[in-house]
């Protein structure tokens, strides 16, 4: 329901990301996302609800804070929530658009196109998932493939990210599943 608070954290080697925010009628409502290096904050995105702007600790750019806007961590859970609320969006060719901003000053609509049902092989076994794909909007933008599990509230079970056209691919996969 409304009024809840959340904190999301993610780490890879010496770099970490954290997001804090609230839950409102549009789902996750981020307030601040920080990027840390060896435990020290290096940059931040600020979702300023009172002024309706997204601002950054470094770059002097800002974006309007649209309802449902997400940071670079929360978009994944928001995408799951959108499909849970409207399962028909999993149909092949259907689109989900989220405005995503990150602590480096990037911000743009991310368009996810459903590729339809696709089985996912996980350590815990096969999942009948739904695959969504995002094409990057430029050479340094993020290509995304994400597989959601409709039987478990569209929980993301696999995620593949590629940040540059020739860049390395980072992949995450769920390690264990309880019965739905």
Say if residues 46 and 56 touch (Cβ distance below 8 Å). Answer: yes
Tell me the residue length of the chain.
180
Secondary structure letter of residue 77 according to DSSP? H
Band of pLDDT at residue 2, cut at 50, 70 and 90: low
CA distances from 155 to 76, 92, 102, 169 (A): 9, 18, 22, 21
List, in order, residues 6 or more apart from 107 with CB less than 8 Å away: 54, 61, 63, 99, 100, 101
- Per-residue pLDDT of 110-169, as tens digits, reads 999 999 999 999 988 999 999 999 999 888 889 999 999 999 999 999 999 998 878 889
Say if residues 9 and 1 touch (Cβ distance below 8 Å). Answer: no
Euclidean distance between CA atoms 109 and 137, whole angstroms: 9
Is the pLDDT at 1 greater than 50? The verdict is no
- Per-residue pLDDT of 12-54, as tens digits, reads 888 899 999 999 999 999 999 999 999 899 999 999 999 999 9
pLDDT at 164: 82
């Amino acid at each position: 329901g409304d009024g809840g608070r959340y904190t999301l954290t993610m780490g890879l080697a010496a770099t970490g990301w954290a997001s804090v925010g609230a839950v409102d009628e549009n789902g996750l409502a981020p307030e601040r996302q920080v990027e840390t290096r060896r435990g020290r904050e290096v940059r931040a995105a600020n979702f300023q609800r009172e002024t309706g702007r997204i601002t950054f600790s470094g770059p002097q750019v800002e974006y309007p804070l649209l309802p449902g806007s997400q940071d670079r961590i929360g978009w994944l859970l928001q995408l799951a929530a959108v499909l849970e609320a409207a399962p028909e969006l999993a149909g092949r060719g259907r689109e989900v658009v989220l405005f995503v901003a990150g602590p480096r000053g990037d911000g743009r609509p991310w368009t996810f196109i459903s590729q339809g049902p696709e089985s996912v092989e996980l350590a815990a076994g096969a999942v009948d998932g739904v695959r969504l794909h995002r094409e990057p909007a430029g050479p340094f933008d993020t290509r995304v493939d994400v597989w959601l599990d409709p039987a478990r509230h569209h929980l993301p079970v696999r995620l593949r990210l590629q940040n540059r056209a020739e860049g390395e691919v980072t992949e995450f996969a769920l390690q264990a599943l309880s019965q739905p």
